[in-house]
Amino acid sequence: MNEVPYSLPQNIIEAAQRGLGKLNRYADPGELKRLRGLLAEYSGVPDRHILLSQGSDLLLRELICPFSKGRNVVTVSPSFFPTVEAVKQFATERLSIRLSPPMFDLSLELLMDMLEVPTLLILDNPNNPTGKMLLERRMVEAIAEHGKVLLVVDEAYYEFSKTTFADMVADYPRLAVIRTMDKAFGLAGARVGYAIVGEAFLNVFSSFYSLLSRPSLYAAIEALKHPEYMKENVRRTIAERERLRRALHDLGSCVYPSSANFLLIKSEIPDVVRRLGELGVLVSDISSQLPLGFARVSIGTRGENDTFIVQYREACRTCD
């Protein structure tokens, strides 16, 4: 599930515990405003551009539902699976651009050719499950300047990629950026997502009001006040990601560069997901979106990654 495996600092746990003492009450509007302010400061935008939600996947659904009406919805394949499912559910006209191995590049020329009618374009950057960066600033500018396009960029792994377009929402009203505190901040169980949106989205979401649970709200506020642990999470995860990438390469697997906290691999082990599962190791089965042999591997602790390497080596040995 691409969770960060490291335990939370005690101050964040204690903040969540304080929220447990007030579970009989809804979150205070002033506290929600404070969280929006901290997220705005963290993102470098005015707080009026911030929307809160219980998870970024819910925000994506909330965007797709109203904005797919009367528009083509364009995504890439492969992509974040909940986004794909929401598009299938709500969009009447949907198109998908195939990201083909080995490069998984997104062609701006091909993309622009698809945007001549009113379009909702949803792109995850970096892409999940490939870990590939699909967008750069000039591409976002070209798309966002197109008068018929609403662009939604899913930046769930921003802290790992160090690439964001959040600062552009003030100048590009048809741009929205989706983020989460599930990943680098280690708050997957708290489910705190947020969107940084331009005016075209604000006009529709002016009455959108999302209440977070008090434990989630207090934990998120404390995490943003003391983000040093998050930066250490990112540093450790990237170091382990690169160590795991080298080990898998040495075992003869094709391992793709990643800007997230997971790796995409192409394995010669037949039915690699099932074989690893039998050895007690779970990796993500992405056979519904990519050809056989591909799997997505979340980066764990050093011990978890060592176990994965040992069992992967065993799976290689038994299939020879």
In this predicted structure, what is the pLDDT of residue 206? Answer: 64
Q: Please tell me the number of Cα atoms within 13 Å of 45 on its side-chain side.
A: 26
Joined together, the tokens standing for residue 123 give 């792109």
pLDDT at 92 over 90: no
pLDDT tens by residue, 20-75: 999 999 999 999 999 999 999 999 999 999 999 998 998 899 889 889 999 999 99
Every domain of the chain and the residues it spans: 10-226, 229-319
- Of 3.40.50.920, 3.40.640.10, 3.20.20.100, 3.30.70.100, which CATH number belongs to 10-226? 3.40.640.10
CB–CB of 15/216 below 8 Å?
no
- For residue 121, the surrounding DSSP H or E stretch is strand 119-124
Summarize the confidence of residues 120-127 as an average pLDDT.
97
Joined together, the tokens standing for residue 230 give 């998050």
CA dihedral for 231, 235, 241, 245, sign (positive or negative) = positive
- Highest CATH level, class, for 229-319: alpha beta
How big is the chain, counted in residues?
320
Q: How sure is the predictor about 146, in pLDDT bands with cuts at 50, 70 and 90?
A: confident
Q: Do you find a cis peptide bond into 126, omega within 30 degrees of 0?
A: yes
pLDDT tens by residue, 220-277: 999 999 999 999 999 999 999 999 999 999 999 999 999 999 999 999 999 999 999 9
| Distance, CA of 192 to CA of 181 (rounded, Å) | 6
